[in-house]
Structure 1
């Protein structure tokens, strides 16, 4: 009996919510993106090239290459990373080589 009473008490908000909903309810149109935001420009672009037996993956954001992954036919893959944003790449054997602060682009002219 207690379970029945508890179930009825817990189901009362559901009944009141269903009664408040109008019958001719329509979905809202999808909101447009905010002005000044380019949705396709924020994701990194990956370009894969094959040179002989090696595979080269170039990672770029806003048309600027920030990392290159080179996978030779024999041996371990290595990375060339532009850590300062000046176009000078430094070689790294893995991407977890110490603490690197986030370098997000907040605003640019």
Structure 2
């Protein structure tokens, strides 16, 4: 008897939950259309110039025509970076291990 009562209550609960869910989602409005993507005309990715020399490969990274990082990969040894960290035009030396250890996001939020 107890088993039948539990089964009846469980089935009643499942039926009630199913009908409540159908009523809840029946009147949902259609989702709006997605807006068109914003096109600003400016490239978001940096312009990379690769210079191959006999003993090294140099990659120059520019954004809006301004050089901000140079990656030098020698034939023998680890690659290293010259970076303009504060925008004054002076390049600072960074070895690959230091660069991988300290990865700080460097996004341009505003420029004028």
Pick the TM interval, shorter chain.
0.5 to 0.7
2:36 to 7, 27, 32: 32
Larger radius of gyration: 2
Q: Is the 8 A contact 1:42 1:62 kept in 2?
A: no
Aligned residues: 103
Length-normalised TM-score, structure 2: 0.61
CA contact (8 A) 1:66 1:81 kept: yes
Alignment map for 1:19-58 (pairs within 5 Å): 19-21=26-28, 28=33, 30-33=34-37, 38=40, 40-58=42-60
Task: Identify the residue that residue 18 of structure 2 maps to in structure 1.
Answer: 11
Give the 4+ runs in structure 1 shifted more than 6 A: 97-100
Q: CA deviation at 1:27?
A: 6.3
User: Residues 103 and 71 from structure 1, CA distance in 2 versus in 1: closer, same or farther, beyond 3 angstroms?
Assistant: closer
The root-mean-square deviation of aligned C-alpha atoms, in Å, is 3.5
Against the structure 1 CA distance between its residues 48 and 99, is the aligned structure 2 distance closer, same or farther, given a 3 Å change threshold?
closer
Picking from 82, 85, 109, the partner of 2:84 is 82
**Distance change in 2, residues 1:81/1:6 (3 Å):** farther
Please, what TM-score do these two structures have when normalized by structure 1? 0.62
Richer in helix (by share): 2
1:54-81 residue CA offsets vs partner (Å, 9 max, x unmatched):
2222222222221111110001111001
Match of 2:3 in 1: none
* Consecutive unaligned residues in structure 1, runs of 5 or more: none
- What whole-Å deviation, never above 9, does each CA across 1:34-72 have from its counterpart, x for those lacking one? 5xx627533333333322242222222222221111110
Match of 1:16, SS? helix
